[in-house]
């Protein structure tokens, strides 16, 4: 991470404090969930870089038992080389879709050292994986973030977002505390699309009484997005979301380098 990237991430992490009426600091455990294709794993990785930028030690726990081929364990070696501590399912279940998670998560929650980021599957089984750690997560202090792509049918309306949130909460026993807009149309995404998406997510946040922490924007669109945000009076910070979880046929797969969307 170069100096300018570190400074940008530091500013974005500090912008969290603007939600002091709801949350006044980053808690020990930050769990990230979302529907399939929402980009939740990308957000876990980007938030890890954000915490790294402000000098924190980060442990990343892979609790995504829904799709083991597009999750943290795909880039474990590269993350470890960067200095992140990674908790995954046991080796003999690493690439299975069985409900197997590591008991090391409880130990990570109990220690005072560093931040713990949890990557959570977005359906009933994913919520159940989180449920078994509920007492430890509550004891450590947590923020459960729901990542929303407003262009996915499941979360394209306030009603859909509410339904997903309520289902997750009823199963895992924890409460969603914030939303992130990750609204995109893959390579067809424009700054206007990102703005349309964050406005939908803001509407959901207002209905649910939840802050919208960030809006993901492809790095190549960041200058244009800033202009669109200003014209629409959108105050949610833009996060230049680099992609690390590449599809198998894409150049840059397996964390060889982030994609800038060019």
According to the model, what pLDDT value does residue 97 have?
A: 53
- Tell me the average pLDDT of the chain: 83
b/e string for 212-241 if b means 16 or more Cβ within 10 A?
bbbbbbbbebbebbeebbeeeebebbbbbb
183-224 per-position pLDDT tens digit: 999 889 999 999 999 999 999 999 999 999 999 999 999 999
Domain residue spans of the chain: 3-16+27-245
* pLDDT, tens digit, 9 for 90 and up, residues 41-57: 889 999 999 999 999 99
Alpha-carbon gap, residue 40 to 27, rounded angstroms: 18
Over residues 3-28, the pLDDT tens digits come to: 888 999 999 998 886 665 456 689 99
The first and second tokens of residue 151, run together, are: 């262009």
CA dihedral over 219, 259, 49, 87, signed as positive or negative: positive
- Residue 40 predicted with pLDDT over 60: yes
Provide mean pLDDT across the span 236-245: 86
Class of 3-16+27-245 per CATH?
Answer: alpha beta
As a whole number of angstroms, the distance between CA 72 and CA 101 comes to 13
Half-sphere exposure (Cβ direction) of 96: Cα atoms closer than 13 Å: 9
Q: In the structure, what pLDDT confidence band is assigned to residue 253 with cuts at 50, 70 and 90?
A: very low
C-alpha–C-alpha distance, residues 42 and 119, integer Å: 10
Taking the alpha carbons at both ends of the chain, their separation in whole angstroms is 19
What is the pTM for the complete model shown? 0.86
Strand partners, 57: none
What is the average per-residue pLDDT within 53-68?
Answer: 79
Helices 124-131 and 158-172: angle between axes, nearest 10 degrees: 40
Tokens of 8: 């940008």
Residue 111 pLDDT? 85
Mean of pLDDT values over 74-98: 64
Instruction: For residues 48-75, give the mean pLDDT.
Output: 75
Structure tokens at 157: 């309306």
Q: Report, as an integer, the average pLDDT of 27-31.
A: 94
pLDDT at 260: 45
pLDDT value at position 80? Answer: 67
């Amino acid at each position: 991470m170069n100096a300018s990237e570190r400074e940008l991430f530091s500013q974005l992490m500090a912008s969290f404090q603007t939600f002091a009426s709801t949350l006044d600091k980053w808690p020990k455990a930050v769990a990230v969930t979302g529907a399939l294709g929402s980009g939740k794993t990308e957000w876990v990785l980007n938030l890890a870089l954000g915490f790294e930028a402000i000098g924190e030690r980060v442990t990343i726990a892979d609790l995504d038992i829904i799709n083991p081929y597009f999750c943290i364990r795909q880039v474990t070696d590269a993350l470890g080389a960067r200095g992140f501590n990674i908790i995954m399912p046991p080796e003999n279940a690493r690439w299975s879709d069985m409900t197997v998670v590591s008991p090391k998560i409880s130990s990570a929650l109990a220690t005072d050292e560093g931040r713990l980021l949890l990557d959570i599957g977005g359906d009933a089984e994913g919520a159940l994986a989180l449920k078994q750690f509920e007492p430890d997560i509550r004891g450590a202090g947590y923020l459960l973030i729901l990542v929303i792509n407003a262009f996915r049918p499941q979360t394209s309306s306030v009603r859909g977002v509410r339904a997903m949130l309520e289902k997750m909460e009823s199963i895992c026993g924890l409460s969603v505390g914030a939303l992130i807009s990750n609204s995109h149309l893959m390579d067809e995404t424009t700054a206007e699309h990102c703005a349309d998406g964050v406005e939908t997510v803001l509407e959901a946040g207002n209905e649910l009484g939840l802050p919208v922490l960030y809006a993901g924007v492809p790095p190549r669109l960041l200058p244009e997005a800033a202009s669109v945000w200003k014209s629409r009076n959108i105050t949610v910070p833009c996060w230049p979301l680099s992609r690390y979880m590449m599809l198998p046929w894409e150049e840059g797969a397996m964390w060889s380098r982030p994609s800038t969307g060019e």
